[in-house]
Amino acid sequence: MLTVHHLNNSRSQRVLWLLEELELDYRLERYQRDADTSLAPPELLAVHRLGKSPVLTDGEETVIESGAIIDYIVRRHGGGRLAPEPGTTEHEQYLQWLHYSEGSAMLPLMLKMYTARLADGGAALQPRIDSELNNHLGYMNTALSEADWFVGNRFSAADIQLSFVPQVARLLYTLEPFPALQGFLDRIHARPAYRRALERGGEYAFGS
């Protein structure tokens, strides 16, 4: 049985959404952030020594990192769904987008979040952070300027992985200059599987 160790208001919401899209059975272990610090509870340390979510367990397998978890589920349990055929150009594009989300696009958003907690808001860093945000959000927006989805204009697990970027950007920055990304959010938020994942996962401040 697949088990998702799920933290509220976290990247693990994407894993629930993927499982709902694939209509797979899974067990949900819930964890709540500390109300004062917003940190994950110490109980997650018993699941993995980093003490972070998401974590997926599948029998003897324990998988961390949302991108690796999504890749694992699609390869092991997807039955060829939500990913292009291996060996194709589309599959190489899929892998790039799958890793781009956390490898590149999330970094300036995390810097935006952390510098906001500084006394001066990290004023000296803001021009560079905003430049990087405009670069990455602009790149994603251009990719969707004539398509609904990122890979071959077909919905895939890469879209699920990428969803967190504009969701967070909408709260921490702005999506006004990036209408294709706002349209992307509208499409994913309307998907029945996405709605089911919200109902099952609980509190999720980033997307509705």
Q: Which is nearest to 58 in space by CA: 35, 39, 75, 38?
A: 75
Q: What is the β-pairing status of strands 55-58 and 61-64?
A: antiparallel
If one looks up domain 2-82+193-201 in CATH, what number appears? Answer: 3.40.30.10
Q: Specify the pLDDT at position 25.
A: 97
Q: What percent of the chain has pLDDT over 90?
A: 94
List CB contacts of 35: < 8 A, sequence separation 6 or more: none
Question: Does domain 89-191 match CATH 1.20.120.1200?
Answer: no
Q: Taking the domains of the chain in order of start, what are their residue ranges?
A: 2-82+193-201, 89-191
Give the Cα separation of 171 and 75 in Å (integer).
32
* Distance, CA of 202 to CA of 145 (rounded, Å): 32
**Is the model's pLDDT at 8 over the cut of 70?**
yes
Q: What is the mean pLDDT of residues 170-176?
A: 96
d(CA 174, CA 171): 7
pLDDT of residue 208: 67
Q: What is the pLDDT of residue 38?
A: 85
Q: What is the pLDDT of residues 91-131, one digit of tens each?
A: 999 999 999 999 999 999 999 999 999 999 999 999 999 99
